[in-house]
Amino acid sequence: MTDKELIQAFLDRYLLTISKPGRYTGGEFNQISKNWEQTELHFAFAFPDVYDIGLPNLGMSILYDQVNRRHDALAERVYAPWEDMEALMRSHSIPLFSLESKQPLKKFDIVGFTLPYETLYTNLLNMLDLSGIPLRSGERSNDDPLILAGGHACFNPEPMHAFIDAFVIGEGEEIIHEIAEAVKAHKQAAAPRLDLLRALDAIPGIYVPSFYAVSYAEDGLIKEIHHIHKPEKTFIQKRIVKKLPKPVTNFLVPNVKAVNERAVIEIMRGCSRGCRFCQAGMITRPVRERPSSEILEALEQSIESTGYEEVSLLSLSSSDHSQIAELIPQVMRMSESRNVTFSLPSLRVESFGPELIASMAGKRKGNFTIAPEAGSDVMRTRINKSIDGEDILATATQIFKMGWTNLKLYFMIGFPDETLEDIEGIVDLTRQIRSIGKRLVGSRVKIHISVNTLIPKAHTAFQWLGFSEKESILEKYRLIQSGLKNTGIKLDWPDYDNSMLEVWLSRGDRRLSDVIEAAWRGGARFDAWHEYYDVDIWQNAFENNNIDPAFYSTRSRCTDEILPWDHIHTGVSKKYLLSELEKSRALETTADCRQICHGCGIQANYAISCENIRTESL
Amino acid sequence: MRIRITYQKNGALLYTSTLDVQTIWERSVRRASLILQYSQGFHPQPRIQIANPLPLGFVGAQELIDIWLVDERKPEEIKELLNKSVPKGIYITEVNTIEENGPSLPKQIDASTYSVELLNSDDSIEKIQASTETMLSKDSLPRVRNRKSYDLRPLIQEMSVQINPDGKIVVFLKMPSNSSQTGRPEEVMAELGIPLENFRITRTSLVFLEKYA
């Protein structure tokens, strides 16, 4: 029997003995199945979490579409098997396989992992191991696939440097074709693996970690990062596509339950707001908008091709799209006439007026979400969330008046120079909103607040700050909790230890590769799942490698320190981020950059005009 | 118009539950650019009736579903449109127009027939036949399912063991599947001591109550 037949026979026989077997069958509507033998290049796109979570990932949908459009290549998918399936596969020596053709992962030319967040790292190792592919890049030969990774977490690639042959920094739509060409040429030449890595290293936006050396000073800080062959190559600048290509509309429609089962169209990439805690806002600059006509057409097409009963719009800040006021009523009319629901995208209090809220008032009222982020005007100034308490209350009033009864509020704590007054501000604001709701909609009012802890992320103005100490965070949570007692307001916050893993992995350096491997060997899996995450496994992994985790978490960093991700450039300069940190301390705001350019570096580094690129396709 | 669809369910869809199959039909109809009727009321529901839930992992050879469409179309045309819009694993063999206000489809179903193919080549037909006879000779077969005890014996309405043309042992069963009782063929196999991974069940037909047959 061939590998493929062996795998199929295994599935036919044993799938019924495990939970949610529909995760492993593939065969979704809109799946693309190409002939394996007649296709030259074989890409597998891997999402290191379970099928139900990974399926709707838009980044992976885009790459799946891009590669399958090529005549010389096929793209297939694989997700992390759940623990019962993993045990079954291991006991029958079944390697990890793709959903489309049931080929072992090891037979692909390229395995590209999507890493939108850091807590997937142990699953990635587990997937390599289940595939029989050596974990470490240096142990792989030409018989092994090229292991790539991309996604937002890769803006600090260092903790995973030992396991990934090449990282894609930035947007994938164009670079994926350059990678395909490089791998094709290498395959035809049957050259050593090192030649392929060299070819990839020459593609702008690709980071081949094995070509860079990092040295450390005695105090553990980074002394130097340099390219071992080309000393002049001091950094990798992220890739952007100057014009967003036509959106994907033929989404895969799962045959079993998955999250976010709906057709989603990305209406805008990037954000001009400049919130100082927000990594996504910094790493996705510049802003590029899709025209409303294209969005509407894509939504209609996606309803026809998927049959989904729900559509949605995606962006970091949909209300900042310059055509949003005309777009939303159009989408509402279209969805009503086609009997599908339209779920609202993320909106910002500071940028939507009463007209927009009114236009969204449909028949059914779900949750309305607003994100004040901080409780006081002072703190909102520090984080550059430039909206005052009065505006938030006015917006809440408007929302209740339009008939919504359920309001969700997002806050964060653990900001720099945070005082207990700032925390009390969260309580006061929430209680005031509740009073307004009570007055306008009576006892039906439901307020739910979610309070997260700031994780100072790479490439943000707060990247030099330490993560808050546990005691300080717990004290603040207790204050909020007692302030909201007997109000019926629902409050949730993350477990401190749960956040810690994201802190370590997002702020770590190369030395964390050993820790990640040790944690995986110690049994860490599905760390993004609270019920599976075990902080002790990680503590032990740090200890066994003689690494103090606090070095990466609560320690604040000097502004002249070489940061682990300094050689990864987002186009926004370190100098600009530092000036933003200083402005935060001086209680100064930075206006939306559509009004005035603050010289963040994007225009200079990409030789573009943000204004032109934002509206080019409108 | 109300139509009755006869379809096969297998392949990748073996592991899709009845609830998810309902969603698949809604989406398939939308992809076919047909318009489903919705119930009146505060939470309008699509008018779809699945004859009887098909358990996870069962092949369906002749499953039935009724749907109500807004526009009149020829059954043949609907069949063609839908066959292009369903995922792999569903194949529509027949579409018929049904009396709009006739009785609900699930209420017309009385029983199901199954064929259970044994996958383990070590099983001998003599052994299976003998244990079947012993089992059927008993007056009652007390079993526990989902922490509830019940008697399996009266639920076995018909049973025989045969060898099919490719030499595999096949157990044929008829068991109730109506509003008051549901017989589960895998329970019969468990009673015979055959583990879950050693057989594959096909529901071969749905049997209508006599008055609707």
Residue pLDDT, tens place only, A71-99: 999 999 999 999 999 999 999 999 999 99
Q: Which residue in B has a C-alpha nearest to residue A25's C-alpha?
A: B12
Element of type H or E holding A8: helix A3-14
pLDDT, tens only, A175-185: 999 999 999 99
Supply the pLDDT for residue B122: 79
Q: Which residue does chain A place closest to B15, by CA atoms?
A: A22
Rounded Cα distance, A63 and A460, in Å: 27
Distance CA B124, CA B129 (A): 9
Q: Cβ A255–B30 below 8 Å, yes or no? A: no
Q: Does B45 touch chain A (CB under 8 A)?
A: no
Residue A345: pLDDT band with limits 50, 70, 90: low
> Which three-class secondary structure string do you get for A243-294?
CCCCCCCCCCECCCCCCCCCEEEECEECCCCCCCCCHHHHHCCCCEECCHHH
Which residue numbers in chain B have pLDDT < 70?
A: none
pLDDT (tens digit per residue) in A271-293: 999 999 999 999 999 999 999 99
Tally of CB atoms within 10 A around A230:
11
pLDDT at A172 over 80: yes
Whether A221 and chain B come into contact, CB under 8 Å, resolves to no
Chain A residues inside the 8 Å CB shell of B70: none
- Indicate the average pLDDT of chain A: 95
Contact: A308, B27; criterion CB under 8 Å: yes
Is B27 near chain A, with CB under 8 Å? yes
Say which residues have a Cβ less than 8 Å from residue A442's Cβ, sequence separation at least 6: none
- Res. A363: pLDDT tops 60: no
- Model pLDDT, residue A346: 64
Residue of A nearest to B19 (CA): A256
Q: Do A307 and B57 touch (CB under 8 A)?
A: no
- Asked whether residue A314 carries a pLDDT value surpassing 60, the answer given is yes
Closest chain B residue to A310, measured at CA: B27
- Nearest in space to A373 (alpha carbons), one of A266, A482, A462, A267: A462
Pair A271, A278: CB distance under 8 Å: yes
B55 vs A contacts (CB less than 8 Å): none
A26 and B12 within 8 Å at the Cβ level: the answer is yes
Structural domains in chain B, sorted by start: 2-102 (3.30.70.580), 108-212 (3.30.70)
**Contact call for B15 and A308, based on CB within 8 A:** no
State residue A402's pLDDT score. 85
How near does any CA of chain A get to the CA of B139, in Å?
Answer: 31
- Domains identified in chain A and CATH numbers: 3-232 (3.40.50.280), 365-511 (3.30.750.200)
pLDDT at A386: 80
The answer to whether A109 touches A187, Cβ cutoff 8 Å, is yes
Give the span between the Cα atoms of B45 and A412, in whole angstroms: 40
Q: How confident is the model at residue A356 (pLDDT cuts 50, 70, 90)?
A: confident
pLDDT score recorded for residue A72: 98
Nearest neighbour of A25 by CB, restricted to B15, B17, B29 = B15
Q: Assess: ipTM above 0.90.
A: yes
Identity of the residue in B30, B87, B197 whose CB atom sits nearest the CB atom of A27: B87
Percent of chain A having pLDDT more than 70? 97
Q: Do B196 and A308 touch (CB under 8 A)?
A: no
CB pair distance less than 8 Å for B30 and A257: no
pLDDT range class, residue A249, cuts 50, 70, 90: very high
Can you give the pLDDT at residue B82?
Answer: 98
Q: What is the mean pLDDT of residues A254-262?
A: 96
| pLDDT above 80 for A364 | no
Mutation choice for A interface testing from B10, B27, B168, B198 by most A CBs within 10 A: B27
What pLDDT does A470 receive? Answer: 96
Strands of A310-314's sheet, edge to edge? A263-266, A310-314, A341-343
Among residues B128, B112, B87, the alpha carbon closest in space to that of B175 is found at B112
* Mean pLDDT score, A309-330: 92
Per-residue pLDDT band at A534 (split at 50, 70, 90): very high
Which residues of chain B make contact with A18, given a CB cutoff of 8 A?
none
Say what the pLDDT of residue A618 is: 84
Query: Is 70 exceeded by the pLDDT of residue A361?
Result: no
ω into A286 cis (within 30 of 0): yes
Contact residues on chain B for A17, CB-CB shorter than 8 A: 196-197
Closest CA to A204 of A605, A508, A565, A600: A605
* Interchain contact, A16 vs B57, CB within 8 Å: yes
Query: Is the CB of B31 inside 8 Å of chain A's CB atoms?
Result: yes
Q: What span, in angstroms and rounded, lies between the C-alpha atoms of A277 and A271?
A: 13
pLDDT tens digit sequence for A468-477: 999 999 999 9
pLDDT in tens, A385-396: 988 999 999 989
Res. A349 pLDDT band, cuts 50 70 90: low
Is residue A319 very low, low, confident or very high in pLDDT (cuts 50, 70, 90)?
confident
Say if A310 is an interface residue toward chain B (CB within 8 Å).
no
Identity of residue A189 = A
